[in-house]
């Protein structure tokens, strides 16, 4: 039972999805503003104008984008059930929307499992995908009927035997993740010479190993990585047969997906690799654990300029979010930030500062650590204290990783909910 998952039906873009989202857990208790496809900046300005006393950073979550991502997923990978990786962004309304759209969930801890169950999601739509779990968390999973997990060590087999003998297992294998921006293989995944001893240890413990999982690392640029990983998974399926164990029934291809244009290329490679290696496996369930794919683009961060310094031609600004808050990925990942000025206070006639003269500017976060710097040498128009900066595509590993360092509480950042109609041809 834990090794089955019904593929999702196609998502039809349109007003039905709006109803689905509005009645989702958590979302139904909140107010959702419907906006036009390109109406995000107007919506942000309306939030700022309606609450002039508002000076805290905030997020906008556009659930129309979530719907269109689910549509993109089911069109490209129709037979693969997405189990959204909660760690990437556990914003409650976002989780509620994902649940309403039919996703399963990848949880890594007791609190994540509790959060998902509290949305009314059935425990068989949860995979406890942390290969190394605390015993108390395993007992909790057993008590609530989360019966599918991953492992990559004999010690884990022993803990699961003791505390959750009904749990079905996926063996997490290490795959080549040298191409990923954030590799995970240094920490997780069994090595080829460990596959057989691990399968035998599970058999001795009378635990069912129902399949294989892997993670190619976060942000893969070469989609062929998936092909090699799927080929490696097939060798484990064959090994189970050779060892006289029950046929494996589940393949978990993990996360690592980014939005278009790479996504479609990855999907094509995955489908052809599945065709090549798994076409003869009957009754196979295939799942994935996308995090970034669903969370990155629906979220926009809006931060206030709280300080300014002019040094000749240079401008320096301080804003109320930074690398100890939502922008922590800047410390690890030298990705460029997508930032736009919103001079609602100093230039309300032209808040986006179209055509304004720009200055070489540095933007700092609010803490007293000098590393808390967001951009240097960036061209920005002349802005003033109480103007705003808008950061797009801010949902993946941002607020989820933020701390309360120096008393700036990332976890207190409020999220406003919007729903944009992403299809061009239909009105809401
Ligand atoms: C973090 C993680 C994911 C999500 O990875 P993305 O690159 O965000 O898609 C999926 N599975 C596991 C086990 C993870 O640890």
Ligand 1 neighbourhood includes 296 CB (under 6 angstroms): no
Mutate to test the pocket of ligand 1, among 186, 215, 257, 393 (most ligand atoms within 8 A of CB): 215
Find the range with the poorest average confidence among 267-281, 293-307, 333-347.
333-347
pLDDT (tens digit, 9 = 90+) per residue, 323-335?
Answer: 999 998 887 765 6
Q: For the beta carbon of residue 382, count every other beta carbon within 10 angstroms.
A: 18
Catalytic residue, from 132, 167, 368, 425: name it. Answer: 368
The finding on whether 322 has its CB within 6 A of some atom of ligand 1 is: no
Residue 205: pLDDT over 70: yes
Q: Are residues 99 and 201 in the same domain?
A: yes
- In this structure, is residue 53 part of a structural domain? no
- Residue 226 CA to ligand 1 centre (angstroms): 14
Angle made by CA atoms 138, 143, 147, in degrees to the nearest 5: 65
The CATH number of whichever domain residue 319 belongs to comes to: 2.40.37.10
Residue 70 lies in a domain: yes
Range of 205's domain?
A: 65-295
Q: Is 210 a catalytic residue?
A: no
In short, whether 215's Cβ falls inside 6 Å of ligand 1 is yes
Neighbours of 213 (CB within 10 A): 30
Q: What is the mean pLDDT of residues 125-132?
A: 97
pLDDT digits (tens, 9 = 90+) for 29-59: 999 999 999 999 999 999 999 988 889 999 9
Say if residue 114 is in the same domain as residue 140.
yes
Does residue 8 form part of some domain?
no
**Dist. CA 35–CA 298, nearest whole Å:** 13
Does the CB atom of residue 152 touch ligand 1 within 6 A? no
The CB of 255 under 6 Å from ligand 1? The reply is yes
Q: What is the pLDDT of residue 281?
A: 85
**DSSP per-residue codes, 129-154:** --SS--HHHHHHHHHHT--EEEE-SH
Distance 71 CA to ligand 1 centre (A): 20
Residue 86 has phi, psi (to 5 degrees) of: -60, -30
Answer yes or no: do 279 and 412 share one domain. no
If asked whether residues 200 and 187 sit together in one domain, one would say yes
The best mutation among 84, 106, 287, 293 to test binding of ligand 1, ranked by most ligand atoms within 8 Å of the C-beta, falls on 106
pLDDT digits (tens, 9 = 90+) for 377-401: 999 999 999 999 999 999 999 999 9
Domain assignment present for 39: no
How many independent structural domains does the chain possess? 2
Question: Which two tokens mark 20?
Answer: 């689905």
Same domain, 235 and 369: no
Ligand 1 pocket member 104 (CB < 6 A) = no
Residue 46 lies in a domain: no
52 found inside a domain:
no
Q: Tell whether 381 and 412 lie within a shared domain.
A: yes
Residue 181 maps to which CATH number? 3.20.20.10
312 dihedral zone (left: phi>0; alpha: psi -120 to 50; beta)? left
Q: Which of 73, 87, 335 to mutate to test the pocket of ligand 1 (most atoms within 8 A of CB)?
A: 87
Instruction: Kindly state if the Cβ of 189 falls inside 6 Å of ligand 1.
Output: no
- Residue ending a domain, choose from 264, 295, 326: 295
Q: Give the CA radius of gyration of the chain.
A: 23
Give me ligand 1 centre to Cα 108, in Å: 10
Q: Are residues 128 and 247 in the same domain?
A: yes
Measured over the CA atoms of residue 66, residue 68, residue 71 and residue 73, the dihedral's sign is: negative
- Model confidence at 277, in pLDDT bands (50, 70, 90)? very high
Do 81 and 149 belong together in one domain? yes
pLDDT tier, 421 (very low <50, low <70, confident <90, very high otherwise): confident
Same domain? For 308 and 321 the reply is yes
- Give 143 Cα–ligand 1 centroid separation in angstroms: 25
- Domain boundary residue among 266, 295, 324? 295
Among 412, 262, 260, 395, CA closest to 338 = 395
Look at residue 305 and tell me if it is in a domain. yes
User: Same domain for 337 and 291?
Assistant: no
Residues 291, 338, single domain; the answer is: no
Distance from the alpha carbon of residue 348 to the mean position of ligand 1, in angstroms: 42
Does residue 266 line the site of ligand 1, with CB under 6 A?
Answer: no
Say if 5 falls within a structural domain: no
Say whether both 121 and 156 belong to one domain: yes
CB count, 10 Å around CB of 52?
10
Domain final position from 295, 317, 341: 295
Candidate from 5-19, 82-96, 210-224, 407-421 with smallest mean pLDDT: 5-19
pLDDT in tens, 166-180: 999 999 999 987 777
Residues 6+ apart with CB under 8 A from 312: none
H/E element holding 232? Answer: helix 224-242
* Distance of alpha carbon 42 from alpha carbon 302, whole angstroms: 13
């Amino acid at each position: 039972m834990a090794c089955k998952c019904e593929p999702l039906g196609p998502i039809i873009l349109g007003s039905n999805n709006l109803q689905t989202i509005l009645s989702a857990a958590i979302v139904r208790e909140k107010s959702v503003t419907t906006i036009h496809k390109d109406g995000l900046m107007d919506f942000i300005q309306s939030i700022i104008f309606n609450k002039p006393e508002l000076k805290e950073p905030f997020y906008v979550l556009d659930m129309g984008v979530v719907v269109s991502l689910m549509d993109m997923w089911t069109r490209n990978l129709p037979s693969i059930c997405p189990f959204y990786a909660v760690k990437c962004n556990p914003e409650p309304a976002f989780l509620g929307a994902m649940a309403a759209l039919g996703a399963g969930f990848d949880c890594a801890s007791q609190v994540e499992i509790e959060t998902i169950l509290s949305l009314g999601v059935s425990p068989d739509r949860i995979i406890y995908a942390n290969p190394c779990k605390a015993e108390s968390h395993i007992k909790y999973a057993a008590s609530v009927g989360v019966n599918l997990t991953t492992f990559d060590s004999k010690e884990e087999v022993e803990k699961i035997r003791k505390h959750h003998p009904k749990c079905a297992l996926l063996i997490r294998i290490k795959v080549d993740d040298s191409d990923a921006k954030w590799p995970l293989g240094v920490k997780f995944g069994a090595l080829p010479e460990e596959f057989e001893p691990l399968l035998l240890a599970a058999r001795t413990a009378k635990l069912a190993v129902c399949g294989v999982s892997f993670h190619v690392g976060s942000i893969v640029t070469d989609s062929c990585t998936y092909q090699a990983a799927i080929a490696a998974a097939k060798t484990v399926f064959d090994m189970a047969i050779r060892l006289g164990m029950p046929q494996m029934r589940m393949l978990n291809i993990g996360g690592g997906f980014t939005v278009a244009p790479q996504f479609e290329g990855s999907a094509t490679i995955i489908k052809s690799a599945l065709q090549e290696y798994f076409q003869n496996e009957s009754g196979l369930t295939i799942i994935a654990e996308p995090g970034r794919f669903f969370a990155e683009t629906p979220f926009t961060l809006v931060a206030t300029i709280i300080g300014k310094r002019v040094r000749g031609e240079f401008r320096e600004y301080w804003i109320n979010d930074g690398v100890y808050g939502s922008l922590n990925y800047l410390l690890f990942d030298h990705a460029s930030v997508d930032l736009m000025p919103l001079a609602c206070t100093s230039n309300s006639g032209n808040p986006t500062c179209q055509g304004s003269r720009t200055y070489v500017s540095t933007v700092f976060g609010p803490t007293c650590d000098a590393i808390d710097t967001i951009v240097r040498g960036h061209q920005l128009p002349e802005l003033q204290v109480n103007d705003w900066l808008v950061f797009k595509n801010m949902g993946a590993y941002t607020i989820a990783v933020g701390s309360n360092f120096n008393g700036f509480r990332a976890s207190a950042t409020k999220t406003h909910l919007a729903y944009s109609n992403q299809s061009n041809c239909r009105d809401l």
